[in-house]
Amino acid sequence: MKRTFILIAAAALSAAMQAAGPPTVHEAQKFIEDAEARLLALSVEGQRADWVKSTYITDDTEALAAKADERAINAAVDLAKKSTRFDALKLPDDVRRKINLLKLSLTLATPADAKESEELTRIAESMEGTYGKGKYCPPGASACLDLEDLTRLMAASRKPAELLDAWRGWHAIARPIRPEFVRYVALANKGARELGFANNGAMWRAKYDMPPDDFAKELDRLWEQVRPLYLSLHAYIRTKLREQYGAGAVPADGPIPAHLLGNMWAQTWDNVYPLAAPRDADPGFDLSEILKSRKTDYKQMVHYGEHFFTSLGFAPLPESFWERSQFVKPRDREVVCHASAWDIDFVEDVRLKMCIDITAEDFLTIHHELGHNFYQRAYDKQPFLYRDSANDGFHEAVGDTMALSVTPDYLVKIGLLDKAPDGSKDIGLLLGKALEKVAFLPFGLVIDQWRWKVFSGEIPPERYNQAWWELRRKYQGVAPPVARGEDDFDPGAKYHVASNTPYMRYFLADILQFQFHRALARIAGCHEPLHRCSIYDNKEAGRRFNEMLEMGLSRPWPEALAKLTGERKMDATAIRDYFAPLQKWLDQQNQGKPVGW
């Protein structure tokens, strides 16, 4: 999901503010009403500029987007000053929450110094633009390869040399980002400290309705709940890759080389499923081939996703969505193909930005991104500061919750399958899903674990790349395929690092989507194993789901979670419940083999 987060520069109260009389509740209420109107107008302006920048990358569009951000900053500076006037005042809960959100709804705090503020916003735009324009030009090749080309190659190739070449080629595009990133860290930390935070990472962790240190402990608790399942999956996949590529390429008991897992960042492993599929577990269908054989076009792919939500009782997407979205990669210009959902006017002008391939992966991605759009529409009646998800993990989880209902029975109901495979094929289906969801969990932790340590100074610039791979080995059990040095900047080869986008939301989403799915399956009255439940066309499940979505950010996230699930804590046991048959099977396959690294 793409949203323009407010960028706030810290500053002391002005002399006029200090000379003003004692604040009143009425004054605070009027302040927040005016602030919301002002921020809404600036956010819409910023969204439009960012949309053009992302769908038409040039030096000019980057500059225009940076100027729009600067205008938001200048206004937010004024609001940050004035909001401190009410810090000691006893306010109605609603007003106090909005004032707190005004200070916390940010991902980047620019310094008070005007030149440094401009420099930081320019660097932020430049890093994302460098990533978006990135290409690998193989020596002697007739054409360069962009990330979409390289993604397809990584998914399909079984030639180690070819995979290594693609991996090295893409990771090289991040080297120019490194000097800017070092400066970005220094300036972002300065801005965060001026707001009273220890550093930029501490500021990011402060937005979860709990103290930052408590949030970090919650992540440790959730990871420990799912770690045994990940270790079993890792050991099994390592064995299968060793059988495919040989003992010289894959160790028996060490980390897995990152380029062999079917994904540029080894963040999901579902593309190596053909190498690891259980015997006789083929479900008998290939969704990508079905979609292609039916000559499904990009717009029909999106209609499938929309229909899932309308079957639950949600209103169809507006006509403007179909007119203004980017569904395919244009041939005449550079764009950011990374899939994202946009809320341009924070009311009805929602859009999807993708470069759609007719594949099962993009079929699920569309469900995910439309989840953002339908969430955005559900809370569009809330005051502006509440027009967001209960926490950022909720937003990412909503679409993926729908994707968990994309079961074979669902594909039968929408006419893409004639008959669903019987229960004997479940292990194969579960393994494929685990290679996408369970494999992702430690990667979801690593990106922000690395950045938090960078922002705190625990990882200095001279150890950026070394520390990156130390964390990936510790959590993921993966290693670089070739020696890496500090002239490399491998974290910057991931979009979210280059674009200043916090990543912990994706880890939380991976946890929450299974918790949501378990609750919705119960509401829908599903008595089958959890992985076989689909809420497609169940209006009661849709009604309950929408009740949570409509809350937006108006209440702390535990209340939103309880609205749907009856539970006030995130709980990763739902993942263990979903994959229970697979865990048993994996442990049988791993008998006598090393587990861990």
Q: pLDDT tens, 84-134?
A: 788 889 999 999 999 888 877 778 888 889 899 899 999 999 999 999 999
Q: Which of 36, 194, 396, 436 is catalytic?
A: 396
Query: What H or E segment, with its residue span, contains residue 448?
Result: helix 440-456
Report pLDDT digits (tens) over 171-193. Answer: 999 999 999 999 999 999 998 88
Whether 531 is a known active-site residue: answer: no
Q: Computed from CA positions of residues 376, 382, 388, 390, in that sequence, does the dihedral angle turn out positive or negative? A: negative
Report pLDDT digits (tens) over 66-76. Answer: 899 778 766 77
Residue given tokens 């209440």 in the structure block: 555
Token duo for residue 323? 């007119």
The span from the CA of 244 to the CA of 27, in Å, is 69
Give me the amino acid identity at 140.
G
The span from the CA of 520 to the CA of 372, in Å, is 18
Contact between 6 and 44 (Cβ < 8 Å): no
Question: Under DSSP, is residue 471 helix (H, G, I), strand (E, B) or coil?
Answer: helix
Collect all residues with Cβ–Cβ distance below 8 Å to 22 and sequence separation of at least 6.
Answer: none
Task: Give pLDDT, residue 9.
Answer: 42
Find the mean pLDDT for residues 406-415: 93
Task: Give pLDDT, residue 292.
Answer: 96
Contact between 367 and 340 (Cβ < 8 Å): no
Task: Give pLDDT, residue 385.
Answer: 94
Query: What H or E segment, with its residue span, contains residue 54?
Result: helix 25-55
pLDDT of 12 over the 60 cut: no
Dihedral pair phi/psi, residue 343, rounded to 5°: -125, 85
Whether 572 is a known active-site residue: answer: no
Burial of 115 from C-beta contacts in 10 A (0-12 / 13-18 / 19+): exposed
Q: Which of 49, 202, 206, 339 is catalytic?
A: 339
Contact between 380 and 346 (Cβ < 8 Å): yes
Q: Which of 171, 367, 372, 395 is catalytic?
A: 372
Q: Which of 9, 369, 479, 509 is catalytic?
A: 369
Whether 259 is a known active-site residue: answer: no
Cα-Cα end-to-end distance for the chain: 35
Instruction: For residue 454, give the nearest of 441, 443, 442, 466 by alpha carbon.
Output: 466
Local confidence band at 19 (pLDDT 50, 70, 90 cut-offs):
very low
Dihedral pair phi/psi, residue 2, rounded to 5°: -110, 125
Whether 506 is a known active-site residue: answer: yes
Token duo for residue 73? 């900053």
Q: For the chain, give percent helix, strand, coil, nearest 5.
A: 60, 5, 35
The span from the CA of 324 to the CA of 547, in Å, is 28
Whether 395 is a known active-site residue: answer: no
Question: Under DSSP, is residue 376 helix (H, G, I), strand (E, B) or coil?
Answer: helix
The torsion of the CA quartet 481, 486, 490, 496, rounded to 10 degrees, works out to 160
Dihedral pair phi/psi, residue 156, rounded to 5°: -100, -30
Find the mean pLDDT for residues 287-310: 96
* Strand 478-479 with 256-257, pairing: parallel
What's the Rg (C-alpha) of the chain?
Answer: 24
Report pLDDT digits (tens) over 231-280. Answer: 999 999 999 999 999 999 999 999 999 999 999 999 999 999 999 999 88
Whole-model pTM: value is 0.85
Q: Which of 230, 375, 506, 536 is catalytic?
A: 506
Token duo for residue 492? 């910057």
Contact between 109 and 188 (Cβ < 8 Å): yes
HSE-up of residue 71 (Cα within 13 Å, Cβ side): 17
* Lowest pLDDT segment from 18-27, 247-256, 362-371: 18-27
The span from the CA of 521 to the CA of 203, in Å, is 36
Q: Where are the alpha helices (DSSP H) in 56-176?
A: 59-83, 93-104, 114-132, 147-156, 160-171
The span from the CA of 392 to the CA of 396, in Å, is 7
pLDDT of 30 over the 80 cut: yes
The span from the CA of 423 to the CA of 432, in Å, is 15
The span from the CA of 463 to the CA of 447, in Å, is 15
Burial of 522 from C-beta contacts in 10 A (0-12 / 13-18 / 19+): middle
Give me the amino acid identity at 545.
F
Instruction: For residue 432, give the nearest of 268, 308, 301 by alpha carbon.
Output: 268
Q: Computed from CA positions of residues 205, 210, 216, 218, in that sequence, does the dihedral angle turn out positive or negative? A: negative
Local confidence band at 17 (pLDDT 50, 70, 90 cut-offs):
very low
Whether 339 is a known active-site residue: answer: yes
Residue given tokens 């991104």 in the structure block: 369
Residues forming a β-bridge with 479: 257
Q: Mean pLDDT in the chain? A: 92
Token duo for residue 407? 């079961």
Whether 338 is a known active-site residue: answer: yes
Task: Give pLDDT, residue 54.
Answer: 93
Report pLDDT digits (tens) over 128-175. Answer: 999 999 999 999 888 999 999 999 999 999 999 999 999 999 999 999
Q: Which of 234, 259, 338, 531 is catalytic?
A: 338
Question: Going along 358-457, which residue ranges are E strands?
Answer: none
Local confidence band at 7 (pLDDT 50, 70, 90 cut-offs):
very low
Q: Which of 171, 259, 368, 395 is catalytic?
A: 368
**What size, in residues, is the chain?**
597
Whether 369 is a known active-site residue: answer: yes
DSSP assignment of 286-352 equals -HHHHHHHTT--HHHHHHHHHHHHHHTTPPPPPHHHHHH-B-S--SSS----S-EEEESSSSS-EEE
